[in-house]
Structure 1
């Protein structure tokens, strides 16, 4: 026990002398979490709260065009800026750059007239089917086009949401025009405007309820998603500090000097395992504390800790053990510090990519999802998400912790085999 204590004290002093290493271990992950969470929180605000500025070139000014603009405004996605004069596509593009607008919509001349004709044709077809189901109208529907100009910076999924909003507004206009024709045909004295308001105001609301194991109905925010993910990433990046430290000891001949003493190199490895596991838990404590207490003061959502704090500690402990075991395994097999740093850093990025940290699991190609099981970061992330996002307890995440423990055990066996092969023990 004294030998282990002495080795722990030696490793701790070496770590404290490495100011750059300590900065890399603690400060860099904090900066990373702050930046990523701020960016994603801003993205959430753009999608959920902020309206997209849209330039409107209305060349029609008919009833359907006015209804279309009113429908766009009610959707809540767009901040409409009406242009007084009709502009051509070149001038419209210039105005988009001048006014920093990502979208522009042109309503062509005759839009209202063509929508009205389409409504009449559709209503007549309905009446013909009611009178004689066998009869079919051969009159073609009148097609029309609303032109959408967009900035290339818009991503495809965001542009798809915008297109869905436009189609919803257009369908609303067409429905109003068809209802107008139908009611006027059935009853000339019908109050069409009142009927429209009654129909469109009596819609069925959608109540969003997040599904959680603990019955918690709090909607997860950007902080809940990012802090656990990037904390795992930071823990596994301990490979750069610990892996290079092991290689440095091998190159300096420390293990040979240990062989002349009544001790074992395994004690040194156990010392590093304990010390750097504590360092990883320190990373968790620092980053989670910032999420709980600092984030609300800088305009970011606060981190809501799960109810099962013991489960949170155990998930963090097992994740830290796996991260340190991976670093030891890399350090045992690497021959130079460059190999340890290069392979360690790149491999962690790859494991993070296939583990669902850099890219969400649902967005991965089907071929890559089969590789997620080999990434310890995936199982660690699923364990954290089971606690943070789903409101689960320790019993709910054991299915993710067992593979993580198995990977940790395999890494330690590989490290032991490497030590035996190199006659280090």
Structure 2
């Protein structure tokens, strides 16, 4: 026990001298998690709390174009910036070019007439089908021409949402006018406003619930997604410091000197793994603490602590041990720090990219499914997601912890075999 304690103290002193390694392990994840979560949180809120500014050019003077504007405003998606009716299409495009807004909508001068004509045609056809007198000779107009301009920088998902909102607003205006014309044809008097509201505003309520494990859970936000992901990313970056220290000892002859002492390098390597395992756990605690306490202060959603706290610590220990094993294996087989650092940084970025840390797994093409399931960082992320997003318990994450444990055994065995082959132990 004394030898183990002495080795751990020695490794701590070496680690504290590695300022660059400490910056990679602690400063980098803090900056990443704050910046990325802030950006994604703003993106998630763009269509929820924030509104898209829309330049609107209304060339129609009828009442139905005003109804369309009111309906569009009620969607809650847009901040409408109305332009003078004499504005040209060129001036409208210039407004988008100057980034006054991301979108622009043009209502043609014939909008009210076209909607009215279409409503009367539909009502007449309906009357005829009921066996009543009605004008069915009119041809029902097709889709009404509305021009929507948008900046190419607007993401396609927002573009589709905007398109759906505009279509819905037009359909509501058309439906209202068709109902008015049908009521007028049957009763020879206008549709009462109260009845119109009862017929059109009494919509079926839609309740949205996030469900996991058969239970309702809180809807995930950017914090719940990003804090665990970038914590894993940081934990695996111990390869920069740990692999480098192993290589420096190999090159300095420390292995040879250890053979002359009443100890073994296996004990020293075990002590180093314990030291860096403690570092990875500390990394996780620091980043999660920032998510819990700092994020609400700077206006970001706070991290929700999982119900299974013991399971959280067990998962964190296994992930940390997997990261340490990966770093030890790299340190044993590479001969220079440059090789280990380059391989470590590139491989972790690639594993993070294909593992769903940088791009959500559901957004990846199906051809990446095999690579996704083979990434150790994906196993780590899924284990955390079960605890943080699904309010699961440790047994629920076993399917992802078993591959991590197998990886640990394989990496440790490979490192031991490499040391034996090089006659270092």
Residue 31 of structure 1 and its aligned partner are, at CA, apart by 1.1
Residue 99 of structure 1 and its aligned partner are, at CA, apart by 6.6
Could you list the per-position Cα deviations for residues 55-88 of structure 1 after superposition, in whole angstroms to 9, with x for gaps in the alignment? Answer: 1100012122112111101111001111123322
Residue 190 of structure 1 and its aligned partner are, at CA, apart by 4.5
1:417 paired with 2:421, answer no
1:20 paired with 2:28, answer no
Q: Residue 222 of structure 2 aligns with which residue?
A: 222
Q: 1: distance between equivalents of 2:117 and 2:272?
A: 79
Residue 216 of structure 1 and its aligned partner are, at CA, apart by 5.6
Q: Residue 70 of structure 2 aligns with which residue?
A: 70
> What SS does structure 1 have at the residue aligned with 2:57?
strand
Q: 1: distance between equivalents of 2:245 and 2:260?
A: 21
Q: 1: distance between equivalents of 2:221 and 2:111?
A: 42
Residue 251 of structure 1 and its aligned partner are, at CA, apart by 1.7
Identify which range, 266-275 or 116-125, moves more after superposition. 116-125
Residue 48 of structure 1 and its aligned partner are, at CA, apart by 1.2
Q: 2: distance between equivalents of 1:228 and 1:301?
A: 14
Q: Residue 369 of structure 1 aligns with which residue?
A: 369
Residue 128 of structure 1 and its aligned partner are, at CA, apart by 3.8
Q: Residue 88 of structure 1 aligns with which residue?
A: 88
Specify whether residues 258 and 180 from structure 1 end up closer, same or farther in structure 2 by C-alpha distance, changes over 3 A only. same
The answer as to whether partners of 1:118 and 1:143 remain within 8 angstroms in 2 is no
Could you list the per-position Cα deviations for residues 218-265 of structure 1 after superposition, in whole angstroms to 9, with x for gaps in the alignment? Answer: 322221111111101100111111112112222222222223333322
Identify which range, 323-332 or 117-126, moves more after superposition. 117-126
Q: 2: distance between equivalents of 1:137 and 1:246?
A: 88
Specify whether residues 3 and 90 from structure 1 end up closer, same or farther in structure 2 by C-alpha distance, changes over 3 A only. same
Q: Residue 241 of structure 2 aligns with which residue?
A: 241
Residue 405 of structure 1 and its aligned partner are, at CA, apart by 1.3
Residue 130 of structure 1 and its aligned partner are, at CA, apart by 4.1
Specify whether residues 129 and 191 from structure 1 end up closer, same or farther in structure 2 by C-alpha distance, changes over 3 A only. closer
1:3 paired with 2:3, answer yes
**Equivalences for residues 55-204 of structure 1 within 5 A:** 55-98=55-98, 100-131=100-131, 139=139, 141-204=141-204
Q: 1: distance between equivalents of 2:157 and 2:17?
A: 49
Identify which range, 397-406 or 117-126, moves more after superposition. 117-126
Residue 162 of structure 1 and its aligned partner are, at CA, apart by 0.9
Residue 328 of structure 1 and its aligned partner are, at CA, apart by 0.8
Q: Residue 359 of structure 2 aligns with which residue?
A: 359
Q: 2: distance between equivalents of 1:196 and 1:248?
A: 81
> What SS does structure 1 have at the residue aligned with 2:101?
coil
- Give the TM-score taking structure 1 as reference length: 0.94
The answer as to whether partners of 1:122 and 1:141 remain within 8 angstroms in 2 is no
Could you list the per-position Cα deviations for residues 18-74 of structure 1 after superposition, in whole angstroms to 9, with x for gaps in the alignment? Answer: 223222211121111111111111112212101111111000121221121111011
Q: Residue 348 of structure 2 aligns with which residue?
A: 348
> What SS does structure 1 have at the residue aligned with 2:243?
helix
